[in-house]
Amino acid sequence: MADTPPARVTYDFVTRAIARTLGNPGKGYFALLAAAVALLGVGITCLLFLLRYGLGLAGYSHPVYWAVYITCFVFWVGIAHSGTLISAILFLFRSGWRTAVYRTAEAMTVFAVMTAGLFPLIHIGRQWYFYWLIPYPNERGLWPNFKSPLIWDEFAIGTYFTVSTVFLIMGLIPDIAAVRDLATGWRKKLYAITAVGWRGTNEQWRHYTRGYLYLAALATPLVLSVHSVVSWDFAMALVPGWHATLFAPYFVAGAIYSGVAMVITLLVPIRKLFHLEEIITIHHFENLAKLCLLTGLIVSMSYCTENFTAWFGGNPHERAAFWYRAFGPFWWASWTMNICNGLLPWLLWSKKVRTSVVALFVVSIFVNVGMWFERFVIIVVSLAGEPFERFANATYNPTWADWGIMAGSFGWFFMWFLLFVKNFPAVSISEVKEVLPAPRRGKAVAA
Amino acid sequence: MKLVNPLTAIFHPPPTPGVLGVFGHLDAALEAIRQLRKGGHTDFTVYSPVPRHELEDALDQPVSPVRMFTLIGGIAGCAIGAWLTLYMSYDWPIVLGGKPIGSIPPYVVIMFEMTVLFGALSTILGIAFNALFAARRLGTVAYDARFTNDKFGIFVPSESARQSQVESLLRGAGAEEVRRA
């Protein structure tokens, strides 16, 4: 490992430092939680209006019928991706530094998929028919169309949600047991039930470590497939700006990019609120920043490739679509995307920026904004500039209902996340210990 | 007539008599494992707060059978994905986009997702079943709350006649604390 932990970071120190996050978190935490619940309230109010008055409240105008809700859907699915990257792919690569950050990333994954899953339901308008998405024959004996990428998407997201939840819970079990053995009162009972009898016996570890390895091996191709499938929702259509074979890798890189940025956005306040500076060190942030830089460069390269193909391919519609993106009425969205995703990550080449928590936090916020606009540009701007629609009215503007529901989704996500970090170990206890030197005789604390 | 709750039989098997040693150091626990194995003990339980390869090597247990669960679950998932898509397409055949009724390339996506879903879920079942079977075989063994924090532990099931011998073995290997259960 690049940095050896200080000698006082022992097994006992780790258990107690992480168990402390379950204690009284102070006023700052409750203020954040209240803000998240308030945002969720705004979202629910807007959704109730949408249910009462219908999709006319969303700013849809022909031909833009996929707009903010689908943008939010892709945004949140994207956020969900770095969690599994950090927990599964880096696990297979045996990266020791993942241990301090992977629990946060995994929890973020689960809650982001939960948030993303709401948007197709909001988008369909008649939410009470959501079960039509499930593969079963309708009253005429018709089955779903498995050649449609939308059905692939449902299977992919459903599998992703199930597997990432299972992965999170699996990782939690030994840590809940560690907390159970320290807790008292009703908490001890709660953790005793949720630890499902974990005692760290050799038989338990034998099956657990093997099973974890296979889960990681299954989750790795899954994470790559899920955002590829999301990208095919667009790439399988003929709309200029969507119909590109580049989409799958481009979306996967973008998803990991935005996800890593969100992990940084979440870890900075958690580390501060729960005093985890000795467990989540600057070394971890620097590694996250490097991951962010790498994926950011892949995303920038995809932007270049996309524009180059549009010009070099010689298809007038494709060229027009990209010209419309950059210089049409939505120029502000495209340039926000280009600046936040393409230019700002270059700051991360500097070690000073990578090792400054405040600078990283600011960059990560811009990346989040940029990645939201990337999806907005791909979805809304491509539709608005569609050349096949001779009578197109491209003056699409999101309405208060769109913005309110989007804000509500952030409230929903942060509410779950904050509740999680308060009630369950937000950093893996057993895996952080795994990268520490084990206590040995003759050497008082660590070797 | 006394009724026995069947769940109690599974989750709370009768207590096993034996000796429990608490170790503060990994190498002391490894030494004890080596001596126990040399002395012919087989079904002892080792507790540790973290999985360590040293412990695995000292115990030299066979590879966990969880992998069979993963394999079978994955193959079953793939087959279910293929059945789902092909059966549902042929059950009410409609030509879409000029493609064959049962066209494999788009169905690979569903088959893949189902492989992962069933593979992952059966892995979880595999871990749960195997850990539960092991726990049933060993009975209720003594435990100490420090084993999830910073101590290693070894529980050796033994009859009261042999307990003092096991006790001295554990102490000799470097146990901080030894008690009978």
Name which of B59, B113, B138 is nearest A159 (Cβ-Cβ). B113
Count of A-B CB contacts under 8 Å: 191
CB of A126 within 8 Å of any CB in chain B? Answer: no
* Nearest residue of chain A to residue B99 (CA atoms): A147
Q: Exposed, middle or buried: residue B56 (CB in 10 Å: 0-12, 13-18, 19+)?
A: middle
Largest alpha-carbon pair distance within chain B? 81
Domain membership flag for residue A191: yes
A29 — contact with chain B (CB < 8 Å)?
no
Q: State the total domains in chain A.
A: 1
Residue A21 placed within a domain: no
**Distance of alpha carbon A100 from alpha carbon A429, whole angstroms:** 9
Q: Which residues of A touch B124 (CB under 8 A)?
A: 166, 170, 211, 215
3-state DSSP call for residue B178? strand
Rounded to the nearest angstrom, the minimum Cα separation between B108 and chain A is 10
**CATH architecture of structural domain B17-45+141-181:** 2-Layer Sandwich (3.30)
Q: Which regions of chain A are under pLDDT 70?
A: 1-6, 387-394, 442-447
Residue A378 lies in a domain: yes
What is the structure's pLDDT at A229? 95
Chain B residues closer than 8 Å to A11 by CB: 49-50, 149-150
A-contacting residues in B 16-35 (Cβ below 8 Å):
24-28
Partner residues linked to B179 by β-bridges: B20
Domain around A374: 27-125+185-434
Nearest to A211 among B59, B66, B92 (CB): B66
> For chain B, which residues make up each domain, given as ranges?
17-45+141-181, 66-128
Residues A255/A86, Cβ–Cβ less than 8 Å: no
pTM assigned to the model: 0.92
Query: A422, A282, A276, A254: which is closest to A358 by C-alpha?
Result: A282
Contact check, Cβ <8 Å, A159/B89: no
Residues of B in contact with A147 (CB under 8 A): 96-97, 99, 103, 106
Question: B140-166 pLDDT, tens per residue?
Answer: 888 999 999 999 999 999 888 888 999
Chain B contacts in chain A segment 226-265 (CB below 8 A)? 229
Specify the pLDDT at position A387. 67
Q: What are the chain B neighbours of A201 within 8 Å (beta carbons)?
A: 45-47, 134-135, 141
Query: Residue A172, exposed/middle/buried by CB under 10 A (0-12, 13-18, 19+)?
Result: buried
Closest residue of B to A19, CA-based?
B149
Compare CB distances from A200 to B47, B67, B106 and report the shortest one's residue. B47
Residue scoring higher pLDDT (B42 or A258): A258
CB-based contact, A95 to chain B, within 8 Å? no
| Closest chain A CA to residue B117 | A159
- What is the C-alpha separation between A264 and A438, in angstroms, rounded? 29
Confidence at residue B70, expressed as pLDDT on a 0 to 100 scale: 96
A439/B24 touch (CB, cutoff 8 Å), yes or no = yes
Residue identified by tokens 């986009």 is B97
pLDDT given for residue A447 in this prediction: 40
Helices (H) and strands (E) in chain A, counts: 18, 0
Residue A343 lies in a domain: yes
- Residues in B 78-97 with any Cβ partner in A closer than 8 A: 84-85, 88-89, 91-92, 94, 96-97
Q: What is the pLDDT of residues B43-72, one digit of tens each?
A: 899 999 999 999 999 999 999 999 999 999
| Model pLDDT, residue A348 | 94
Report the percentage of chain B scoring pLDDT > 70.
Answer: 96
pLDDT at A445: 46
Identity of the residue in A11, A147, A214 whose CB atom sits nearest the CB atom of B150: A11
Window 160-179 of B: residues touching A by CB (8 A cutoff) are 174
What's the distance, Cα to Cα, between the start and end of chain B in Å? 30
- Cβ of A146 and B89 within 8 Å? yes
**Dihedral (CA of A258, A260, A261, A263) sign:** positive
pLDDT at B11 over 70: no
